[in-house]
Amino acid sequence: MMFHEPHHGRWHQRLGRIRKCMGEDYGRILNFGAGPAVLPLEVVEEVANSLPNLKNSGFGVLEISHRSGTFQEVIDSANRRIRDILSVPDDYEVLFLQGGASTQFYMTALNLIDEEEKADFILTGVWSKKAMKEASRIGKVEAIWDGTNGTFRTIPQEGEYKVSDDSIYVHYTSNNTLFGTQFKSAPKCENKPLVVDASSDICGVPIDVSSHEIIYAGAQKNLGPSGVTLVLLSPWAKSRIKQNLPTMLDYNTHISKGSMFNTPNTFGIFVLDRVLAWVQRNGGLEGAIERNKRKSKILYEILDKTGFWKPHADVNSRSVMNITWNLYDDNLEEKFLYDAEKNGIGGLRGHRSIGGIRASLYNGCPIEDVEKLAEFMEDFERNY
């Protein structure tokens, strides 16, 4: 009878094992998309197993109340793992919000400055420009460095920008997802408080949390699925939070309720916790840094070898997360993308605003996939 059938979770696990024994690989492609991005397969399988029944609670992960003890354990676990992986100081807040990094463009400024106060921006790409535009709705803003004219090929070096005397903080974007450039370390800003959008390299590269006042990141690249935004707040940031802000845009609302003032993205936070557990099982932040260096080196070596490829970013500003390039012959780019798809390699089309090719090598992207992409690129080069 139906109710004597094996438990759904166990049945799913068995099905998974049977599929693997049969060599079934789910028909997944090698996914180099910029986000939402590939997640480790073992995490995807673990998530699938939790759909019918999360941790033997009897509730499926999509169906469980955020007020349940089971979910409280999940969010507490995600919080602890973030603190562990990123060495977050105890007096920092860890929040899991919604609205994406795009909401943080506005929310950071709203909480930190008023209309008479000013924030500095280092413009290394489209996302930093958007962040500045949103902040300009709150207070004064100044672009203290702007890479627009160099089509965002570079990251500024110390001495190429000057922090304003009267600014409250400096905002920068650690990794420029579209153009494939990245700060190797936080910009030197004369001890001015730093706010960073780390959406596309959080938990994938070194970061000194304690030298930042706000760190925010959409989860959908290195941390999990879309719909969760990680926000870290320092004691200084907390001390600056303005009065009488709209409830949902007030960091204090979310601090006081442990990110559960309203219904959080329960599923997204669950997946994020599983991704972080995977990061911890695989050498923590150090392991991720090492793998990301190795993956990006494989591609940059090919791009630098011959004039067939035209890497976009200046050598000293290159990202290990998003590798961007063109082909010497523009006409070959469509062919490259077409052939890649035919060979089961997807997500390589550059952002719609700049075109070209982009391979995103986030934490969930296995090194073997990068090796296969490299092989495909070398074959393509030989053939054309």
- Interface with ligand PMP by CB under 6 A: which residues? 35, 100-102, 127, 173, 177, 197, 199-200, 218
CB of 100 to ligand PMP, least distance (A): 3
Query: What span, in angstroms and rounded, lies between the C-alpha atoms of 172 and 79?
Result: 24
CB of 206 to ligand PMP, least distance (A): 17
Nearer to ligand PMP, 32 or 127 (CB): 127
Nearer to ligand PMP, 199 or 234 (CB): 199
Q: At what angle do helices 284-305 and 266-281 cross, to 10 degrees?
A: 80
Single-letter amino acid, residue 99? G
Nearer to ligand PMP, 218 or 264 (CB): 218
3-state secondary structure at position 243: coil
Residues whose CB is less than 8 angstroms from the CB of residue 34 and which lie 6 or more positions away in sequence, other chains included: 177, 200, 221, 322, 347, 351, 358, 360
| Residue with smallest beta-carbon separation from ligand PMP | 100
Query: What span, in angstroms and rounded, lies between the C-alpha atoms of 23 and 101?
Result: 39
Is there a catalytic annotation at residue 127? yes
CB of 35 to ligand PMP, least distance (A): 5
CB of 248 to ligand PMP, least distance (A): 15
Token pair belonging to 128 = 């930093």
Q: How many residues does the chain have?
A: 384
Is there a catalytic annotation at residue 278? no
Query: What span, in angstroms and rounded, lies between the C-alpha atoms of 270 and 275?
Result: 9
Query: What span, in angstroms and rounded, lies between the C-alpha atoms of 286 and 280?
Result: 10
Query: What span, in angstroms and rounded, lies between the C-alpha atoms of 148 and 8?
Result: 54
Residue 119 and residue 112 in contact, taking contact as beta carbons nearer than 8 Å: yes
Is there a catalytic annotation at residue 145? no
Nearer to ligand PMP, 266 or 319 (CB): 319
Nearer to ligand PMP, 202 or 377 (CB): 202
Catalytic residue, chosen from 120, 129, 140, 197, is 197
CB of 101 to ligand PMP, least distance (A): 4
Query: What span, in angstroms and rounded, lies between the C-alpha atoms of 284 and 279?
Result: 5
Q: Which residues are catalytic?
A: 127, 197, 221
